[in-house]
Amino acid sequence: MAAAVPDTHMAARLVDWYEQNRRELPWRQTRDPYAIWVSETMLQQTRVETVIPYYHAFLAAFPTVRALAAAAEDEVLKRWQGLGYYSRARNLHRAAKQVVERHHGVIPDDEASFGQLPGVGPYTCGAVLSIAFGKPIPAVDGNVLRVMTRYLSLSDPIEQPAVKARVASAVKAWLDAADPNRLTQGLMELGATVCVPKSPRCTACPLQPGCAGSAAGIAEELPVRLPRRARKQVDVLALWIAHHGYVAVEQRPREGLLAGMWQLPAVEVERGPKALSDADKTALLRDKLAVLQPAMAAAGDVDFACIAQAKHVFTHIDWHVEVYRPLGDSWPQLDLSRCVPVQALKDLAWPRVYDRLIAELAQPLAVFDTGVVK
């Protein structure tokens, strides 16, 4: 099937449009592959405006791939705090170590080597190789998928590998006909500013002359996506144990949700048909306290008061968080190995919901510090 408009023509139109309309984003001021790699990783499923401050702070803290490789994982996570998808930070850190160990600290410019690094998938590989190294490797992200399913008028769900393959192949033809750096960024810029999800500005689009979706009048209906499942409902019962200026904390497991992040000691329970009763909650909190602070639990059956609540929505989970304070005014011992001074809370990497709760609770600390106020 021959293209209605030659690839060289459309590629040139797109690159010209990009030169005239590009936004001056921080990562467009450099060709440093490390900086571009950092930006592409942060931009995964994350908006440009959200990324900008993180990008500057991260590069200031870790200016080179060697600096990143030499950092502690906790420092890297702390710089990523609030950005979400924390595996990106852990993988980027691991990948930096591999670049130092296996590639002498030089970021590889070939698809096989770079694409093998942890956290580098097809998109990021194509983006870094085309933008930083000028190689004709397609970078198919959400923007490109939208632009090209419209341009080619593809109505099959974009989750299907065949659709992504068809799009990648079309992009490859354009890459071979133009400067890969500007073509890749032009495609994404077009998706971000003109070929937007709702009310696309087709009259301002350089690809309009060849756009099958626009010609068929179905551009706005594309791309087609599969429906999503409902989110799981999870109750989170957290403990606020503050004593003489120390607060009990715990680190989440190295894998799974919010891997490696810090939180108030908590139990997580998936919601069944019935809501948790107060007695259920007390029992769960007592069990947690027994593991966490045996000396406190051994002093007798403890009761709890709810001092804060929050709802937090993840992509696939709704968290219903309640923070409880153990009642009582004199504890025999507090295991300080599981606590940090209040002033040190800010140095740990917290998920958003806990960061907000702590800001709320640590402020009037004296009120809840069992060692200070009766």
Partner DNA sequence: AATCCGGGGCC
Partner DNA sequence: GGCCCAGGATT
Binding site residues, DNA, CB under 7 A:
25, 27-28, 39-40, 43-50, 82-87, 91, 118-125, 127, 141-143, 146, 159-161, 185, 188-189, 191-192, 197-198, 225-230, 232, 256-259, 312-317, 351-353
CB of 289 to DNA, least distance (A): 25
Considering beta carbons, is residue 93 or 146 the nearer one to DNA?
146
- CA 117 to each of CA 112, 207, 219, 342: distance values in angstroms, whole numbers, following the listed order: 9, 34, 36, 38
Q: What are phi and psi of 304, to 5 degrees?
A: -135, 150
Considering beta carbons, is residue 139 or 289 the nearer one to DNA?
139
Residue entry with tokens 């200070």 = 372
Q: From CA 73, how far away is CA 75, in angstroms rounded?
A: 5
Considering beta carbons, is residue 131 or 296 the nearer one to DNA?
131
CB of 245 to DNA, least distance (A): 26
Q: From CA 128, how far away is CA 106, in angstroms rounded?
A: 14
Helix, strand, coil fractions of the chain, as percent rounded to 5: 50, 10, 40
Tokens of 326: 């153990």
Contacts with 333 (C-beta within 8 Å, 6 or more apart), sequence order: 295, 296
3-state secondary structure at position 49: helix
Q: From CA 63, how far away is CA 57, in angstroms rounded?
A: 10
Residue entry with tokens 């907000």 = 356
CB of 212 to DNA, least distance (A): 19
Considering beta carbons, is residue 126 or 265 the nearer one to DNA?
126
- What is the DSSP pairing of strand 232-239 with strand 317-326? parallel
Q: From CA 207, how far away is CA 246, in angstroms rounded?
A: 61
Whether 40 is a known active-site residue: answer yes
Question: Catalytic one among 40, 75, 101, 250?
Answer: 40
CB of 49 to DNA, least distance (A): 7
CB of 243 to DNA, least distance (A): 27
Question: Beta strands of 265-343 (E only): which ranges?
Answer: 266-270, 304-313, 317-326, 339-341
Q: From CA 326, how far away is CA 364, in angstroms rounded?
A: 17
Considering beta carbons, is residue 286 or 356 the nearer one to DNA?
356
Q: From CA 223, how far away is CA 310, in angstroms rounded?
A: 35
Considering beta carbons, is residue 254 or 374 the nearer one to DNA?
254
Tokens of 122: 């097809």
CB of 41 to DNA, least distance (A): 8
Q: Which residues are catalytic?
A: 40
